[in-house]
Amino acid sequence: MKIITTRPKPGFDDLAACFAAKRLFSKHEIVIEGNPESKVEKFIEEVAPHLFFYHRFEELELESISSLIVVGSVSESQLPASVKPFLERCNKILFDHLGTAVDGNWNKVISGHYGASITLLCDILRKKQIKITPEEATLYAVALYRKTVNFSLSTTTPDDLLTGAWLLSSGASLERVVKYQKFALTREQRRCFQKFMDNTRILSIKGVEVAISEAKLKVMPKEIFELVEKLWITIGADNLIVFIQVGKDVFVAGRTRYSEIDFSKIFSDSKLSAYPNFSLAFYANANFNAVKERIFNSLRKNILSFVQVQEVMSSPVRTVLSEMPVKEAAKIMENTGHSSLPVIGGGRLIGIVTLDNVRKAIKHGLKNSHIEEIMQTDLVTVKATAPVSEAARKMMENGSSSVLVLDKGILVGIVTKSDLMRGVLTKRSQELENLKLQTSRIVNLIETRLEPDIVTMLRFLGIVGNQVGMATYVVGGFVRDLLLGKKNYDIDIVVEGNARHFAQTFRRYFEVTCVEHKEFLTTSIFFKNGLRIDVATARTEYYEEPAVLPNVEVSTIKKDLYRRDFSINAMAIKLNQEEFGLLLDFFGCKRDLENGIIRTLYPLSFVEDPTRILRAIRFEQRFNFKIEERTLELLKKHVTQNYLERVTGQRLRYELEKIIEEPEPLKAIKRMDELGVLKHLFPYSVVDAEALLMLDRYFGRGRFPGPKPVYILAMILLRNAPVRKLDSIVKRYGFPKKFPDWIRKAVNISRALQNKHDDGEQLSFKTFFTIVRKSEPEVLCFVDASLDEKDSERFRIYLKNLEEKKPRITGTLLIEKFGLKEGKAIKRVLDKLQLAKLEGLPDDEEEDFVKKLIRRN
């Protein structure tokens, strides 16, 4: 066996170097001792388990090693115990990045003076012009950054930096590099940080808030960019400038949130390192106070004036007290025309009350209740000094029609859509248009397109909503399909209240079973006739990390709809008696439906849930729609950035199975291939004319009972994949362990049948019996898909006969009645008897047939 290895329990640098060595020695296998560092395993699982595959010595029974490649500055005593018995008899090569190895113990030593093992290996790959994938580049970059502590250790060499540049040019993801770094302030950095904090003040220059900090230090602190970033976050200012005097030199760091400050102009007379929103200026042999004065003058000259929130907000703000009766708030709203009022309690802002909630409270006899009992506490706020574009962004993100304005925690104003129109730098087009609610009554549509019992059920759900005082809506795909004139019995109900309480009230009138799902604020109602209704509390979702399942919070119907995957699924129909049949469209959804457009509601949609990539394709092909241009651009971007690799195989498999259930799944599969999705779902998959023909046959013909279609899809796509690469697919998607064997067997059988066909031989029952016999159902499906219509028809008859025309004579009977001895002879007789039965031998002629066989042999 030929092996690449490193020290036991390898870290990022060790294992990354192993994978780099694999590119130089492709016939070697990576084998390690013990488990790698936990973050390494997490990285591989998240990024590309199909690319980074290794074995463990504990899993192998080694009989010999002919070639051993060792990476890292490793002595023989540090090698895995499993290889030591073979050291004298194998060819040994060491890659030693520190140059400390003794040549005499190795057949060959490749060494140098580098800060990391991965630098040595990458230097060789680069010089040999061996191209690496973005996933490999990212792994190598993470290893390099961690080993050199972001190139800050004294052992870091120029070659390490060159390697870092090469990896970035090869597609390494800095986002992932940062994710797998660990930044903690040293004791000296903490002292510097405290000095900065103690000497910080806030200025307003031409209406722009700027925090100024300064310190005189003996030496420049390490990781100054990270230190300034931490200071900026802690202070919470929009803009930060830090003056640092070190001896006779002055450094000035600038950090900004918006684009009002152009540091390249402000620091133009310095030696400058400029990055987006972050710059570091250097003034050699400069007077500290003179530099500060120059910077302040440059700020006043170059800072961009912009319209601030405080210039367009409505002020003073009419408020109500938390202990005020609901009826008093109703009078204020009636007199002022306000549809919402901020609520003050204990001298501070604690919530907001809406006209809708006030009316509901009065209707239910709560006019004397305190406002705090019906107020909303999820507030959308913005600073008075922020640009109006920030207020518009927050409105969009939160599905709100207004934003409260705070100054040092004090409520000073409110910004509405009308106020925004006065902001000269505010985007006026689609974002503001989308804030506008479109409503229409579609009662007639409901009554003509839905079955009477479904209409009655919807009306009754609205009655229950009135009874418990909750706005009640049917949402999602049900509404979409109703407008399209398609049947859909998946009824999803959203209530602005407690879904469990709603469901329990509903249960009083019907014999149903209720199942609560607390983590998602939903309750499922099951009827005896099979009907299921899902009731959810109106909720919003937030994702702590991309591609993971979301956390859920109580919200309103607007926010509930805003969290949905696509605009065509983000409409609701109100069911309450007084507004039954009212269609709510907050985001131009009906327009998209009419124009045949698949559109996401916000740019991070595919980042937060990459399975929406598959859903976009499924809906596009199901309805013959088109993915909107910007949405398609985002989809392609996030596919190439490997966001699908971050999703669990279980969730991806579920979406694939939904695609396969479509009437024309092949259309979606072709589209996935066109957009580059399939190679991220199934690395090493091949979508050529043969694969498409096989899939067309499989989906078009009557399917065999038993096998899961997703297995057959994967088998066809991966029919040419290296068998050793299939283990990661099996693990990721939870496929049976026999999956690689199914592919190997199915491919071999199909090729054998094709060879017979190419030789001009008709595929007879005998041919099928000789080559196929009775294989696993998954193998049979694959084989059938490889056959043309005529051969497929005969193949299916063969399988039917094989199942129905079994010989009555068994092996036991051959021994007892015909005197045959146990062994191969019995199998030969039974095989020939089975073949004769397939070709029409009657039951009453079996004994004569067997006797003739025995006499002949």
State how far the Cα of 20 lies from the Cα of 101, in Å rounded to an integer: 20
- Kindly give the pairing relationship between strand 438-441 and strand 582-585: antiparallel
SS3 55: strand
Biggest CA–CA distance in the chain, Å, is 116
Q: Is the pTM of this model over 0.75?
A: no
State how far the Cα of 239 lies from the Cα of 202, in Å rounded to an integer: 10
pLDDT band for position 111 (cuts 50, 70, 90): confident
- Kindly give the pairing relationship between strand 348-354 and strand 402-407: unpaired
State how far the Cα of 524 lies from the Cα of 492, in Å rounded to an integer: 9
230-269: burial string, b at 16+ Cβ within 10 Å, e else:
bbbeebebbbbbbbbbeeeebbbbbbbbeebbbbeebbee
User: How is residue 6 written in tokens?
Assistant: 């490193």
User: How is residue 186 written in tokens?
Assistant: 């040293």
Q: Tokens 């030199």, residue? A: 249
Whether the predicted pLDDT of 223 surpasses 60: no
Residues written for the chain = 857
**Which percentage of the chain shows pLDDT scores above 90?**
37
pLDDT band for position 100 (cuts 50, 70, 90): low
Average pLDDT along the chain: 84
Query: What are residue 376's phi and psi, to 5 degrees?
Result: -100, 140
Give the pLDDT confidence of 768-806 residue by residue, as tens digits.
888 988 789 999 999 999 999 999 999 998 888 888 888
Are residues 576 and 584 in contact, defined by beta-carbon separation less than 8 angstroms? no
- For the segment 341-353, the average pLDDT, to the nearest whole number, is 82
Are residues 395 and 359 in contact, defined by beta-carbon separation less than 8 angstroms? no
Rounded alpha-carbon distances, angstroms, from residue 431 to 384, 427, 641: 21, 7, 27
**What does the pLDDT read at residue 349?**
82
Task: Report the run of H or E that residue 309 belongs to, with start and end.
Answer: helix 309-312
Give the pLDDT confidence of 409-446 residue by residue, as tens digits.
677 888 876 666 544 333 333 333 344 456 678 898 99
Cβ contacts of 146-149, under 8 Å, gap ≥ 24: 146/11, 146/12, 146/13, 146/180, 146/181, 147/12, 147/13, 147/115, 147/116, 147/117, 147/118, 148/115, 148/116
Residue ranges of the alpha helices (H) in 406-508?
A: 417-420, 430-434, 443-449, 452-468, 477-484, 499-507
User: How is residue 113 written in tokens?
Assistant: 């003076």
Tell me which residue of 144, 183, 180, 182 sits closest to 165, measured CA to CA: 144
**Strand spans (E) along 161-221:** 200-205, 208-217
**Which percentage of the chain shows pLDDT scores above 70?**
88
User: How is residue 102 written in tokens?
Assistant: 């003794």
- For the segment 739-753, the average pLDDT, to the nearest whole number, is 94
pLDDT band for position 203 (cuts 50, 70, 90): confident
Give the pLDDT confidence of 446-471 residue by residue, as tens digits.
999 999 889 989 999 999 999 888 88
Give the pLDDT confidence of 29-60 residue by residue, as tens digits.
999 998 887 788 888 888 877 778 888 888 88
State how far the Cα of 776 lies from the Cα of 120, in Å rounded to an integer: 49
Query: One-letter amino acid identity for 261?
Result: I
In terms of C-beta density within 10 A (0-12 exposed, 13-18 middle, 19 or more buried), how is residue 9 classed?
A: middle
Give the pLDDT confidence of 552-601 residue by residue, as tens digits.
444 578 878 888 899 999 999 999 988 899 999 888 899 999 999 999 98
User: How is residue 682 written in tokens?
Assistant: 């199934």
Which residues does 129 contact at the CB level (< 8 Å), separation at least 6? none
SS3 338: coil
Does 551 or 75 have the greater pLDDT score? Answer: 75
